[in-house]
């Protein structure tokens, strides 16, 4: 089986951590070429630390991890410690990582790697603000045809926002970057809040992660128990959404997801609705679709897949 080549662009974050672990636990299907870190949930020095912690947890200290943009393109960085804790990866006790970051800037590596690749051969999975990806596309537009697909976590339309009433966190932090990515012409699959809030963790599922009896299982249980307390307080219910792994799950089992090809634009002018993803669900603009907007998921299939691949990490 030909493995799909993937670059994960990330701001870990407990749910980013689960996305990375899901990808690394799926080595039959995915060849993760590297992780590119961006500032988002916490500043860049912490997202690069957290990415290294997670790769070491997965037994992959060989993974290439790059530091990218420390600030959004035009706006000041907004972080989300209220959700993810002071370190971004609160929950377990972590030892400081021993593995080193690569010297090259994430954007330079992304450009170099894509330019050397065949057309349509590398999939990007951005699960944080889109600053790195937009910077790469702006600086080297020739990379666009090399990208098979951008499968991103971001946005919200039917379910509104989670950082403001109108905007989802990843898009809000760098709306200018998101606008560039949605206008890039690269095929996009968007995993918005509309779908991630359709797959809520249950206490039993988090317990089953802990019951794996492995270090990965123990650490994930501790991360998820910390992380979901915020969503349970805010949204009620038994457990919170697990946003970022939706991107990797889509690569592994697209049949779990349903969406529609639509035109999406991003608000960059109004402070009231800054970072809102405006989805032309009913084709009112006549603009050709630029993204597949996912709205439905087989929740049991999703959580079963994540558990299976965490178990595969041993
Ligand atoms: C997104 O924002 C971050 O807090 C999460 O890691 C996820 O990528 C959800 O809105
Ligand atoms: Ca994230």
- Cα–Cα distances (Å) from 224 to 130, 163, 240, in that order, read 24, 20, 9
- What average pLDDT does the segment 212-231 reach? 92
Q: Is the pLDDT of residue 233 over 80?
A: no
DSSP state of 109: H
Q: Which residues contact 234 (CB under 8 A, 6 or more apart)?
A: none
Round to whole Å and give the CA distance between 261 and 290. 7
Q: Is the dihedral of CA 297, 298, 300, 305 positive or negative?
A: negative
Round to whole Å and give the CA distance between 32 and 34. 6
Residues with CB under 5 A from ligand 2 (ion): 11, 13, 16, 127-128, 244
How would you class 72 by CB atoms within 10 Å of its CB: exposed for 0-12, middle for 13-18, buried for 19 or more?
buried
For the whole prediction, is pTM greater than 0.85? yes
For 129-185, how does the pLDDT look when each residue is reduced to its tens digit (9 = 90+)?
A: 999 999 999 999 999 999 999 999 999 999 999 999 999 999 999 999 999 999 999
- DSSP assignment of 195-228: HHTTSB--HHHHHHHHTT-SHHHHHHHHHHHHHH
For 93-140, how does the pLDDT look when each residue is reduced to its tens digit (9 = 90+)?
A: 999 999 999 999 999 999 999 999 999 999 999 999 999 999 999 999
Separation of CA 193 and ligand 1 centre (Å) = 9
Give the model's confidence band at 276: pLDDT under 50 very low, under 70 low, under 90 confident, else very high.
Answer: very high
Please list every protein residue whose CB sits less than 6 Å from any atom of ligand 1: 13, 15-16, 41, 80, 83, 127-128, 153, 162, 168-170, 243-244
Catalogue the E-assigned strands of the chain.
4-10, 30-37, 65-67, 122-126, 147-153, 188-191, 257-262, 264-266, 277-279, 291-297
Give the model's confidence band at 232: pLDDT under 50 very low, under 70 low, under 90 confident, else very high.
Answer: confident
Q: Is the pLDDT of residue 234 over 80?
A: no
> Backbone phi, then psi, for 309, in 5-degree steps?
-80, -30
Domains and CATH numbers, the chain: 4-312 (3.90.245.10)
Q: Which residues of 168-189 are buried (b: 16+ CB within 10 A; e: fewer)?
A: bbbbbbbbbbbbbbbebebbbb
Q: Centre a 10 Å sphere on the Cβ of residue 75 and count the other Cβ atoms it contains.
A: 17
What pLDDT sits at residue 230? 76
Round to whole Å and give the CA distance between 153 and 243. 7
Ligand 1 atom nearest to CA at 84: 4
DSSP state of 38: -
């Amino acid at each position: 089986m030909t493995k799909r080549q993937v670059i994960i662009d990330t701001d870990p974050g407990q749910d980013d951590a689960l996305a990375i672990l899901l990808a690394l636990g799926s080595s039959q299907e995915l060849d993760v070429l590297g992780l590119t870190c961006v500032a988002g949930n916490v500043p860049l020095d912490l997202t690069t630390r957290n990415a290294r912690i997670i790769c070491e947890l997965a037994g992959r200290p060989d993974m290439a991890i790059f530091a990218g943009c420390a600030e959004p393109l035009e706006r000041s960085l907004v972080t989300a410690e209220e959700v993810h804790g002071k370190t971004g990866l609160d929950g377990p006790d972590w030892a400081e990582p021993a593995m080193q970051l690569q010297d090259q800037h994430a954007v330079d590596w992304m450009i170099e790697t894509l330019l050397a690749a065949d057309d349509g051969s590398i999939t990007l999975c951005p699960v944080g603000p889109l600053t790195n990806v937009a910077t790469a596309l702006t600086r080297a537009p020739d990379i666009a045809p090399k990208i098979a697909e951008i499968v991103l976590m971001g946005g919200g339309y039917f379910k509104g926002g989670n950082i403001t009433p109108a905007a989802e966190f990843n898009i809000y932090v760098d709306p200018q970057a998101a606008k560039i990515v949605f206008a890039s012409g690269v095929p996009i699959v968007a995993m918005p809040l509309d779908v991630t809030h359709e797959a809520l963790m249950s206490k039993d599922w988090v317990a089953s992660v802990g019951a794996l009896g492995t270090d990965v299982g123990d650490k994930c249980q501790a991360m998820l128990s910390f992380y979901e307390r915020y969503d349970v307080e805010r949204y009620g219910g038994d457990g919170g959404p697990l946003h970022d792994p939706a991107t990797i799950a889509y690569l592994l089992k697209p049949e779990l997801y349903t969406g529609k090809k639509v035109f999406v634009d991003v608000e960059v002018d109004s402070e009231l609705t800054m970072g809102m993803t405006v989805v032309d669900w009913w084709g009112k603009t006549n603009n050709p679709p630029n993204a597949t907007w996912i709205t439905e998921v087989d929740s049991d299939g999703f959580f079963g897949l994540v558990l299976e691949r965490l178990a595969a990490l041993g």
